[in-house]
Structure 1
Amino acid sequence: MNQVIAVKGGSLDGECRIVKGKHRFSTFQTTNYTELEVLPL
């Protein structure tokens, strides 16, 4: 199950993808993924 969470704040404009239990933040550049700690709401 993949979840996509919209993220907008400051200079950030992307989305946090939860793929295979891992949180990935993307700035819509396929080669630019960074791990983030995301707490479920």
Structure 2
Amino acid sequence: MEMKDDKIFATLFNPAHMEKSAIVIFNTLSNESRLLKSLTLV
């Protein structure tokens, strides 16, 4: 997880679905989140 300016960038990882993860951006000013990219690990 990393915070830059007013946004938090995080990598989501679910151990139950080890091949799936995602990058999410959360805007702290507007309380909105956005899925930047969904990744499938091989």
TM-score of the superposed pair, with normalisation by structure 2: 0.47
Counting strand residues as a fraction of each chain, which structure ranks higher? 2
Larger Rg: 2
